[in-house]
């Protein structure tokens, strides 16, 4: 039985080569572990720096061998000087031990899976014809290319009996100018007649389709496009991965996720469905017809008689409760198994006896592993503690999971039935052991309406309570994404605290893991209660004797950037500096500049021209640009040109407004970055500018 561990989404990173270094595991684990193929990392000082942050190995895509003896996974290391990274494949015993690198190339390896007999590994790597399917033995030798598909592929899944293969690739279904006007071959315009012409950070020039072909283990046959002629994506762009597609255990069906809408209809809807494709008849059946929200990530039961998936109820609401549904093929019925569970579920793993499902769920700003009993419908937490479990796979005698926290990036853990965990991988232990970690603690703060709000307070390394420190209020994006125990490579709490600041990170209204009522309050109330929650958090923490209330700042990205812009006009002299990254500044412009119209329709309440819509009018009345006349505090604006969710003109407008108001301002502009900052040197530049701006005004 194959065990694939999927994180919340799968991303591909194209990267370059690494060196070798010995790494020793914690003595208490009872053995010495080596990481063969780890690059040299020079540590200066004893606190986190941007250079150290970008030198950490990023572990992903863990798979357990069929005999449950070996783990297979990838680690990405970045070369700061070369401004790129490289992802290589590693193996290690399932009970822990030496990590062995089994690939060493300049192109990186992705989507690695075991063969049924465990003797070979199939994977993707790039070449002259794009990403192709390769094969090697389990020791990493005898590499052979076994596909040569025009344009390359973006992912693959081999059928359970290894006689067929699914692969996904881009299909060009767009009429270019040259197709319409062949006598104008050098014209570079786009002819657009509908919405969703660009999405997040790319223009919609092609679609991701699923192909199925015969497979021998050494070659890929002619393929059938199961979405032939359709202008839809599967997996869903931009965040969907192979977790949205799966084979039935008998290899006769493919279940896949798709939004079968286009243009304006697609821009207004989150109605993805689970489709069941019959290999023999070449027809698809919609299993979730009439279910209007997101339905995705299907997983068959081991006997193929049931299929489970993640489901949201309401169309147009991307942050609705993420439920666990199961469809029974024998009774032709489906059921919500989380109707009495006021939490989200992420990732689904069946047990071999089909009686239980393991999943990951967020509760009070932590992600834990949960177990669902199918027969009794009972669900309970298996793990506990201050961490974020990201994924889980079920073995015959234990669970294999990935986990991170505010103080450490993702590693692999073994978890038993009682929740006792054992760390198996130690990718970054040698680095983290050399730096002083910033301590994070939970504080409960009363809000203006009498609620208890969980606020993380992160203290600088070598914290001395007898001293006074500047503090920064961290404003979360999303707007509905938890301020949990995440380890970010940009908004990294260790890095912010290492700069000498106390970080105040509230789980304000509109964040998940505290029930749907708390999560949903923010929709239609952007400038309301959640802004009061921010101020409650900083007002409570600034009273501590070790906080200098005259040296406070507020920072954030996306909705956090909106929050900073709003606070800049409504903070009543609390703050001495602001930093806003990719934030919404003018909500009226944002409504017409963004691409996923369902988002602004739901969160803002609708269009600004609908004067009868009180919710929408309240949203636009609270647009940050309406309070620019109150701006008097230094502000740094950061934006990426390829951010199509929140266009760069939003950041430019905010910066221009500050300058025209004679407010000290700086604009950090990234022409090649999107809603994030993904390249090493830009990432380090971001961290340096972040620190220098705060130091200038707070120290």
CA distances from 654 to 565, 569, 594, 658 (A): 8, 12, 17, 6
Q: For 245-284, how does the pLDDT look when each residue is reduced to its tens digit (9 = 90+)?
A: 999 999 999 999 999 999 999 999 999 999 999 999 999 9
Using 50, 70 and 90 to split pLDDT, how confident is the model at 38? Answer: low
C-alpha closest to that of 244 among 2, 512, 8: 8
Q: Does residue 128 have a cis peptide bond before it, meaning omega lies within 30 degrees of 0?
A: no
**Are 612 and 680 spatial neighbours (Cβ–Cβ below 8 Å)?**
no
Among the listed residues 589, 627, 594, the one whose alpha carbon sits nearest the alpha carbon of residue 608: 589
Q: Where are the alpha helices (DSSP H) in 277-401?
A: none
Could you tell me if 478 and 570 are in contact, meaning their C-beta atoms sit under 8 angstroms apart?
A: no
Say if residue 334's pLDDT is above 80. Answer: yes
Q: Please, is 68 exposed, middle or buried when counting C-beta atoms within 10 Å of its C-beta (0-12, 13-18, 19+)?
A: middle
Given a contact cutoff of 8 angstroms between Cβ atoms, the answer to whether 328 and 334 are in contact is: yes
Query: Using one digit for the tens of pLDDT, what is the confidence trace for 357-409?
Result: 999 999 999 999 999 999 999 999 999 999 999 999 999 999 999 999 999 99
pLDDT at 5 (0 to 100): 53
In this prediction, residue 536 carries a pLDDT of 98
The pLDDT, as a whole number, for residue 179 is 86
How high is the pLDDT of residue 175? 74
Mean pLDDT of 451-479: 98
Number of Cβ within 10 Å of residue 652's Cβ equals 15
Q: Which residues are catalytic?
A: 558, 643, 675
Higher pLDDT, 116 or 42: 116
Using DSSP's 3-state secondary structure scheme, residue 47 falls into coil
φ, ψ dihedrals at 310, nearest 5° = -90, 140
Which candidate, 466, 471, 473, 474, places its Cα nearest to that of 546?
466
Asked if the bond preceding 238 is cis, omega within 30° of 0, the reply is yes
426 burial via Cβ count (<10 Å: 0-12, 13-18, 19+): buried
With H, G, I as helix, E, B as strand and everything else as coil, classify residue 118.
Answer: coil
Segment (H or E) for 637? strand 635-640
Handedness of CA 278, 308, 156, 205 (dihedral sign): positive
The predicted model scores a pTM of 0.94
% the chain with pLDDT above 90: 91
Q: Give the three-class secondary structure for 392.
A: strand
Q: What is the CA radius of gyration of the chain?
A: 25
> For residue 406, what are the CA distances in angstroms to 439, 444, 505, 624, 660?
9, 18, 12, 31, 39
Q: Over the chain, what is the mean pLDDT?
A: 93
Q: Is residue 669 within 8 Å of 639, Cβ to Cβ?
A: yes
d(Cα 65, Cα 75) in Å, to the nearest integer?
18
Q: Is residue 8 very low, low, confident or very high in pLDDT (cuts 50, 70, 90)? A: very low
Contact 520, 529 (CB under 8 A): no
Q: Binning pLDDT at 50, 70 and 90, where does residue 349 land?
A: very high
584, 590 contact by CB (below 8 A): yes
**What's the pLDDT tens digit per position in 484-525?**
999 999 999 999 999 999 999 999 999 999 999 999 999 999
Do 152 and 169 touch, CB atoms closer than 8 A? yes
What is the 3-state secondary structure of 255-280? Answer: EEEECCCCHHHHHCCCCCEEEEEECC
How far apart are the C-alpha atoms of 586 and 654, rounded to whole Å? Answer: 8
Confidence of residue 53 (pLDDT cuts 50, 70, 90): very high
The pLDDT, as a whole number, for residue 16 is: 27
User: For residues 65 and 117, what is the distance between their CA atoms, to the nearest angstrom?
Assistant: 9
Kindly write down the DSSP assignment for every residue of 573-588, as one continuous string.
T--SEEEEES----HH
- Cα separation, 104 vs 17, in Å, equals 7
Strands (E), 216-350: 220-225, 245-247, 253-258, 273-278, 283-286, 295-300, 306-311, 323-328, 333-336, 345-350
**227-253 pLDDT tens trace:** 999 999 999 999 999 999 999 999 999
Sequence-separated (6 or more) residues with CB below 8 Å from residue 65: 71, 72, 94, 114, 118, 138
pLDDT of residue 43: 80
Please give the pLDDT value at position 35.
55
Q: Give the tens place of pLDDT for each residue, 623-673.
A: 999 999 999 999 999 999 999 999 999 999 999 999 999 999 999 999 999
Contact between residue 164 and residue 279 where contact means Cβ atoms under 8 Å apart: yes
Q: What pLDDT is attached to residue 18?
A: 29
Write out the E strands in 56-106. Answer: 58-64, 70-79, 84-93, 100-101
Confidence of residue 3 (pLDDT cuts 50, 70, 90): low
Reported as a pLDDT band with limits 50, 70 and 90, residue 128 is: confident
Please check the confidence at residue 434 and state whether its pLDDT lies above 80.
yes
How far, in Å, CA of 34 to CA of 92, rounded? Answer: 10
Is the predicted pLDDT of residue 6 greater than 60, yes or no? no
- Determine contact, residues 51/684, Cβ cutoff 8 Å: yes
Residue closest to 361 by CA, chosen among 350, 372, 376: 372
Q: What is the pLDDT of residue 7?
A: 43
Q: What is the DSSP letter of 236?
A: P
Of 23-27, 330-334, 487-491, the one with minimum mean pLDDT is 23-27
* CATH fit for domain 436-698, picks 3.30.70.100, 3.60.40.10, 3.40.50.1820, 3.40.640.10: 3.40.50.1820
Q: Which contiguous run of DSSP H or E holds residue 21?
A: none
In terms of Cβ atoms closer than 10 Å to its own Cβ (0-12, 13-18, 19+), residue 318 is middle
Distance from C-alpha of 95 to C-alpha of 73, rounded to nearest angstrom: 15
Give CA–CA dist 410/389, Å, rounded: 9
Percent of the chain with pLDDT over 70: 94
pLDDT of residue 39: 61
Q: Residues 6 or more apart from 387 whose CB is under 8 A from it?
A: 366, 367, 403, 404, 405, 485
Which contacts (CB < 8 Å, 24+ apart) does range 436-440 have?
Answer: 436/46, 436/47, 436/461, 436/462, 437/407, 437/461, 437/494, 438/48, 438/406, 438/407, 438/493, 438/494, 438/497, 438/498, 439/463, 440/386, 440/406, 440/407, 440/493
Q: Which pLDDT score is estimated for 11?
A: 33
Listed by start position, the domains of the chain span 436-698
Q: What is the DSSP letter of 661?
A: T
Q: What is the mean pLDDT of residues 44-65?
A: 95
């Amino acid at each position: 039985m194959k065990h694939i561990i999927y994180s919340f989404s799968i991303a591909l990173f194209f990267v370059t080569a690494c060196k070798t270094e010995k790494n020793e595991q914690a003595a208490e684990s009872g053995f010495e572990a080596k990481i063969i193929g780890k690059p040299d990392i020079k540590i200066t000082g004893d606190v986190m720096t941007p250079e150290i942050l970008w030198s950490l190995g990023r572990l992903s895509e863990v798979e357990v061998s069929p005999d449950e003896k070996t783990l297979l996974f990838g680690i990405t290391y970045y070369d700061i000087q070369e401004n790129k990274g490289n992802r290589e494949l590693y193996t290690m015993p399932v009970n822990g031990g030496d990590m062995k690198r089994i690939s060493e190339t300049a192109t990186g390896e992705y989507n690695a899976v075991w063969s049924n007999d465990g003797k070979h590994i199939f994977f993707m790597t790039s070449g002259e014809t794009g990403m192709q399917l390769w094969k090697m033995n389990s020791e990493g030798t005898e590499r052979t290319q076994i596909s040569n598909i025009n344009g390359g592929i973006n992912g693959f899944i081999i059928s359970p009996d290894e006689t067929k293969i699914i692969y996904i690739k881009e299909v060009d279904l767009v009429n270019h100018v040259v197709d319409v006007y062949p006598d104008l071959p050098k014209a570079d315009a786009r002819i657009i007649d509908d919405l969703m012409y660009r999405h997040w950070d790319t223009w919609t020039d092609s679609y991701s389709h699923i192909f199925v072909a015969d497979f021998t283990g050494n070659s890929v046959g002619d393929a059938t496009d199961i979405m032939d002629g359709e202008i839809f994506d599967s997996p869903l762009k931009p965040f969907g991965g192979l977790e949205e597609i799966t084979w039935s255990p008998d290899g006769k069906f493919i279940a896949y996720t798709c939004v079968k809408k286009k243009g304006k209809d697609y821009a207004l809807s989150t109605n993805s469905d689970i489709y069941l494709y019959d290999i023999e008849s070449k027809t698809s059946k919609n299993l979730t017809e009439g279910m209007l929200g997101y339905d995705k990530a299907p997983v068959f039961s081991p006997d193929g008689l049931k299929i489970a998936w993640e489901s949201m109820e309401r169309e147009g609401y991307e942050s609705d409760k993420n439920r666990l549904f199961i469809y029974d093929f024998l009774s032709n019925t489906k059921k919500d198994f989380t109707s009495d569970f006021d939490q989200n579920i992420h990732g689904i793993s069946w047990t071999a006896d089909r009686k239980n499902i393991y999943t990951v769920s967020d509760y009070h700003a932590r992600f834990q592993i949960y177990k669902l009993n199918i027969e009794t419908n009972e669900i309970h937490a298996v793990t506990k503690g201050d961490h974020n479990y990201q994924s889980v796979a079920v073995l015959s005698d234990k669970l294999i999971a990935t986990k991170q926290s505010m103080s450490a990036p993702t590693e692999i853990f073994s978890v038993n039935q009682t929740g006792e965990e054992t760390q198996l991988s130690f990718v970054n232990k040698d680095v983290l052991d050399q730096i002083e970690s910033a301590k994070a603690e939970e504080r409960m703060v009363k809000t203006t309406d009498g609620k208890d709000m969980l606020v993380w307070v992160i203290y600088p390394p070598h914290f001395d309570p007898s001293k006074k420190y500047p503090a920064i209020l961290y404003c979360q994006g999303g707007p509905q994404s938890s301020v949990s125990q995440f380890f970010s490579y940009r908004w990294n709490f260790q890095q912010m605290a290492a700069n000498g600041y106390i970080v105040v990170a509230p789980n304000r209204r509109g964040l998940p893991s505290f029930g749907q009522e708390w999560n949903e309050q923010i929709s239609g109330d952007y400038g309301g209660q959640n802004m009061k929650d921010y101020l409650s958090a900083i007002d409570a923490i600034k009273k501590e004797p070790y906080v200098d209330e005259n040296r406070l700042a507020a920072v954030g990205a996306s909705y956090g950037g909106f929050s900073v812009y709003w606070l800049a006009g409504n903070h009543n002299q609390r703050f001495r500096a602001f930093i806003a990254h990719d934030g919404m500044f003018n909500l009226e412009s944002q409504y017409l500049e963004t691409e996923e119209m369902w988002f602004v329709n739901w969160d803002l309440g609708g269009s600004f021209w609908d004067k009868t819509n009180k919710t929408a009018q309240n949203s636009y009345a609270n647009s940050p640009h309406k309070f620019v006349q109150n701006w008097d505090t230094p502000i740094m604006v950061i934006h990426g040109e390829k951010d199509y969710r929140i266009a760069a003109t939003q950041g430019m407008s905010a910066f221009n407004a500050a300058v025209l108001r004679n407010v000290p301002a700086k604009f950090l502009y990234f022409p090649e970055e999107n809603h994030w900052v993904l390249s090493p040197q830009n990432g380090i530049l971001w961290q340096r500018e972040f620190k220098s701006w705060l130091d200038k005004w707070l120290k």
